[in-house]
Amino acid sequence: MSLAYEEFVDFIAAGTTPSSLIAFQPSALTKEKVADLIRRQKTDGLSSEEAAELDYFLKIEHLMRLAKARARQHLPRE
Protein backbone atom coordinates (compact mmCIF):
# COMPACT_ATOMS: atom_id res chain seq x y z
CA MET A 1 0.00 0.00 0.00
CA SER A 2 1.38 3.43 -0.88
CA LEU A 3 2.15 6.03 1.76
CA ALA A 4 -0.43 8.41 0.27
CA TYR A 5 -3.10 5.71 0.42
CA GLU A 6 -2.27 4.87 4.04
CA GLU A 7 -2.44 8.55 5.02
CA PHE A 8 -5.82 8.89 3.33
CA VAL A 9 -7.21 5.77 5.02
CA ASP A 10 -5.89 6.86 8.44
CA PHE A 11 -7.46 10.29 7.98
CA ILE A 12 -10.87 8.83 7.11
CA ALA A 13 -10.68 6.23 9.89
CA ALA A 14 -10.04 8.94 12.51
CA GLY A 15 -13.31 10.64 11.59
CA THR A 16 -13.74 13.89 9.78
CA THR A 17 -15.64 17.13 9.85
CA PRO A 18 -16.07 19.46 6.89
CA SER A 19 -13.38 21.74 8.36
CA SER A 20 -10.88 18.94 8.96
CA LEU A 21 -11.46 17.58 5.46
CA ILE A 22 -10.82 20.99 3.92
CA ALA A 23 -7.65 21.39 5.99
CA PHE A 24 -6.26 17.92 5.15
CA GLN A 25 -2.88 17.95 3.43
CA PRO A 26 -0.63 15.03 2.56
CA SER A 27 2.53 14.77 4.62
CA ALA A 28 5.74 16.44 3.49
CA LEU A 29 7.15 12.97 2.78
CA THR A 30 4.23 12.13 0.47
CA LYS A 31 4.48 15.49 -1.31
CA GLU A 32 8.21 14.95 -1.80
CA LYS A 33 7.67 11.41 -3.13
CA VAL A 34 5.00 12.53 -5.60
CA ALA A 35 7.11 15.48 -6.78
CA ASP A 36 9.98 13.07 -7.39
CA LEU A 37 7.76 10.68 -9.33
CA ILE A 38 6.42 13.51 -11.50
CA ARG A 39 9.92 14.84 -12.16
CA ARG A 40 11.23 11.40 -13.09
CA GLN A 41 8.17 10.68 -15.23
CA LYS A 42 9.05 13.75 -17.30
CA THR A 43 12.76 12.94 -17.54
CA ASP A 44 13.89 9.34 -17.04
CA GLY A 45 10.55 7.56 -17.05
CA LEU A 46 9.05 5.36 -14.34
CA SER A 47 8.88 1.65 -13.73
CA SER A 48 5.41 0.15 -14.03
CA GLU A 49 5.17 0.03 -10.22
CA GLU A 50 6.14 3.68 -9.90
CA ALA A 51 3.71 4.71 -12.64
CA ALA A 52 0.94 2.83 -10.83
CA GLU A 53 1.84 4.55 -7.55
CA LEU A 54 1.71 7.98 -9.20
CA ASP A 55 -1.60 7.16 -10.89
CA TYR A 56 -3.00 6.01 -7.56
CA PHE A 57 -1.95 9.25 -5.86
CA LEU A 58 -3.53 11.33 -8.63
CA LYS A 59 -6.82 9.45 -8.18
CA ILE A 60 -6.73 10.06 -4.42
CA GLU A 61 -5.94 13.73 -5.03
CA HIS A 62 -8.93 14.03 -7.40
CA LEU A 63 -11.22 12.36 -4.86
CA MET A 64 -10.01 14.72 -2.13
CA ARG A 65 -10.61 17.77 -4.32
CA LEU A 66 -14.19 16.65 -4.92
CA ALA A 67 -14.73 15.89 -1.23
CA LYS A 68 -13.29 19.27 -0.19
CA ALA A 69 -15.62 21.06 -2.59
CA ARG A 70 -18.60 19.25 -1.08
CA ALA A 71 -17.35 19.89 2.46
CA ARG A 72 -17.33 23.63 1.76
CA GLN A 73 -21.06 23.38 1.08
CA HIS A 74 -21.58 22.05 4.62
CA LEU A 75 -19.78 24.88 6.39
CA PRO A 76 -21.97 27.44 8.15
CA ARG A 77 -22.46 30.57 6.11
CA GLU A 78 -21.02 33.71 7.62
Instruction: Provide DSSP, the chain.
Output: --HHHHHHHHHHHT---HHHHHH----HHHHHHHHHHHHHHHTT---HHHHHHHHHHHHHHHHHHHHHHHHHHTSPP-
Tell me the residue range of the domain where 11 lies.
3-73
| Tally of domains within the chain | 1
Pick the closest to residue 33 from 11, 57, 7 (CA basis).
Answer: 57
User: What does the pLDDT look like over 55-71, one tens digit per residue?
Assistant: 999 999 999 999 999 99
d(CA 61, CA 57): 6
User: What does the pLDDT look like over 24-46, one tens digit per residue?
Assistant: 999 999 999 999 999 999 999 99
Q: Is residue 78 part of a domain?
A: no
pTM score, whole prediction: 0.81
Q: Is residue 14 part of a domain?
A: yes
User: What does the pLDDT look like over 18-27, one tens digit per residue?
Assistant: 999 999 999 9
